[in-house]
Structure 1
Amino acid sequence: MRTFDWELLPHFLAVARAGSLRNAAEMVGASYGTVNRSIQALESSYGVRLFHRSQRGFSLTEFGEALLPMAEEAEQKIFAARKRVEGLDRSEAGKIRFSLTPTLAYDIVAPIVARFSDQFPEIDIEMRLTSEVESITNDKTDISLRAAHEVTEDVVARKLFQLEIGVYASKDYLKQKVPIAGQGGTGLTWIGTPTKGAPESWTQRSPFPSATLRHEVSDGQMRMRLVNLSVGMSHMSTLFEPVFPNLRRVPGTELSPGPWLWLLLHSDLRRTVRVRRFVDFLTEEMRALHKTGKHGPFS
């Protein structure tokens, strides 16, 4: 393999994964023309066609299929080298790429990041809000805050605590709506998550099986806001109790165990000072917040 081929392989991998030049260009942050020239140069270097080109996009030829696993192996070795070098860092400075869900980001983690920034002004946090599980091993992120029952990836996983889920409503909703509700919660409103077909089983297992499931909201942040605005009741983590004092657990309901909250990071980064400082700080703050929740039903 010629030396300059190393510069072209990322564009080859991007086209193989995206199926088009335009999508590949967006993936690697390059122009359409740059990616196109890279593919042409690589094919010229090897003397073969790596892609079939059609109106539907790009697909690998037999030569491209043969190159793909070796290019992916080279990519992984480069990622591993980067992680190993970064892991030798001993300074409280630099950037950390941190991914988490929007539900936890705005009101739970943002104040923690603000306090961390005051204490460690030379460490920058690049936050990526996504509900997708981003890969630690494939260099998509450095640290991930994730709710899951278990973690099977080959990463360093710090188990923070098990989330507890309760039924919540606003103070006004509890004062004005719950006392006049009919049998089984008739007249009350559930705010749930999008479902396929029949209403979710938790509405039937609750003390309010006759309450109406009127709204279905996939985004946890929006669902929490609607509860805070007295639109209805919903299942939420106890983490939000100290953040939103207007919310109270609905009388007659109990807490149920949810998934565990994990902090994940690449094994080569656990020796990096800036990463260790952030992980320790976030762990302490999240556990403290967890202890201040669960103040009980409204009275």
Structure 2
Amino acid sequence: MHKGSIEWTDIQFFIAVARSHSARSVAEDLGVSHSTVSRRIDALEERLQARLFYRNSKGYQLTEDGEAMLGYAKSAEQYLDAAQKHLQGGSHRLSGEIRVTMPDVVAAHLVIPHLNEFTNAYPQINVQLLVTSQVLSLEKHEADVALRILPKGAEIPERFIARKLTNLPSCCYGSPAYIAESLPEHGRWLGWSSEDGKVNWAQNTPYPDLPYQHQISHGLIQLEAVRSGLGLARLPCFLADGINGVIRLPGAEPSSLHDLWLVSTPEHRNVLRFKVFREFIVSLFRRLEDKLEGKLAG
């Protein structure tokens, strides 16, 4: 065989000519010139270093090598057709896996209590929850769908499909004993990351000058740290309100510094299992929005 890959387009021309025995007929069917068909067949024979057709008054007649090549070409055509049908069908099946990444507080308090609704409706879809404070890459296929807490005004690249789900009101919290015994002289703020001191979200609280000490990136762990008396923290209201041993810092007003976004990639836009999951999440947070906003009065 001549070095160089065979172009699938040449194989398609070969199959068409083998079936019709006429380059002119194939040219008319495909809307190309007769010379284009002849040139494609010549190019294929050159690559294969084999004569595939006898050209005579009866048109194009397969040689022995042509008969053998036709068998291989038909098999390739069937496999590619089957692959196309399988992959296109997968886009319309309500089954398969969805890898969803989200922070622990969103998973534990907002999604998990309602996920059985989705499972009951779509029992053949397997949801893999990737619960982490790290930002997993959708572009590197580390996850398929992401629920992300982002600062107000954050811009999401246009290459993603993104939808704001809700505001996330937050407030400052501490344990009753810590607030009574440590403030104002010995109090501290617990941070989410090393950037908290630069942002200084405590500046509009009754204790803007308290130092930041310790960083805890997981919301559920930070809640436990507050309850244990390790310090004060700014926490989502849906997470901390109503929790035994945790109260709002007197004089602190809740506000929305962050939003919750649903993010996915365009390649999953029309895949049915991803579509119904996105619709479920949007519907869920539409129902939860009143609850989230209502926490502000607590």
Counterpart among 71, 74, 95 of residue 97 in structure 2: 95
Cα pair 1:192 1:217 within 8 Å, conserved: yes
Cα pair 1:238 1:290 within 8 Å, conserved: no
Cα pair 1:166 1:253 within 8 Å, conserved: yes
CA distance in 1, matches of 2:234, 2:107: 18
Secondary structure, aligned partner of 2:130: strand
Between 262-271 and 285-294, the greater mean CA deviation after superposition: 285-294
CA distance in 2, matches of 1:98, 1:145: 8
Seen in structure 2, the aligned counterparts of structure 1 residues 129 and 210 have a Cα distance that, compared at 3 Å, is: same
CA distance in 2, matches of 1:104, 1:162: 13
Cα pair 1:203 1:209 within 8 Å, conserved: yes
Seen in structure 2, the aligned counterparts of structure 1 residues 215 and 135 have a Cα distance that, compared at 3 Å, is: closer
Cα pair 1:239 1:289 within 8 Å, conserved: no
1:161 partnered with 2:166 = yes
Secondary structure, aligned partner of 1:295: helix
TM-score normalised by L of structure 2: 0.59
Cα pair 1:249 1:296 within 8 Å, conserved: no
List gaps (5 residues or longer) in structure 1.
Answer: 4-80
1:93 positional shift: 1.8
- The alignment yields a C-alpha RMSD, in angstroms, of 3.5
1:143 positional shift: 0.8
CA distance in 2, matches of 1:120, 1:243: 33
| Partner residue, 1:54 | none
Seen in structure 2, the aligned counterparts of structure 1 residues 266 and 288 have a Cα distance that, compared at 3 Å, is: same
| Partner residue, 1:295 | 295
When Rg is computed on C-alpha atoms for both structures, the one with the higher figure is 2
What one-letter code is carried by the residue in structure 1 that aligns with 2:161?
V
Of all paired residues, the percent bearing the same amino acid is: 24
CA distance in 2, matches of 1:276, 1:142: 11
Seen in structure 2, the aligned counterparts of structure 1 residues 123 and 98 have a Cα distance that, compared at 3 Å, is: same
Seen in structure 2, the aligned counterparts of structure 1 residues 256 and 272 have a Cα distance that, compared at 3 Å, is: same
1:178 partnered with 2:179 = yes
1:103 positional shift: 4.0
| Partner residue, 2:124 | 122
What one-letter code is carried by the residue in structure 1 that aligns with 2:267?
D
Seen in structure 2, the aligned counterparts of structure 1 residues 164 and 96 have a Cα distance that, compared at 3 Å, is: same
Seen in structure 2, the aligned counterparts of structure 1 residues 245 and 114 have a Cα distance that, compared at 3 Å, is: farther
| Partner residue, 2:248 | 249
Aligned length, in residue pairs: 214
| Partner residue, 1:145 | 147
1:262 partnered with 2:267 = no
1:194 positional shift: 4.4
Secondary structure, aligned partner of 2:295: coil
CA distance in 1, matches of 2:248, 2:297: 4
| Partner residue, 1:134 | 136
Seen in structure 2, the aligned counterparts of structure 1 residues 2 and 284 have a Cα distance that, compared at 3 Å, is: farther
What one-letter code is carried by the residue in structure 2 that aligns with 1:107?
H
Secondary structure, aligned partner of 1:282: helix
1:285 partnered with 2:284 = yes
Cα pair 2:173 2:249 within 8 Å, conserved: yes
What one-letter code is carried by the residue in structure 1 that aligns with 2:201?
W
| Partner residue, 1:43 | none
Secondary structure, aligned partner of 2:282: helix
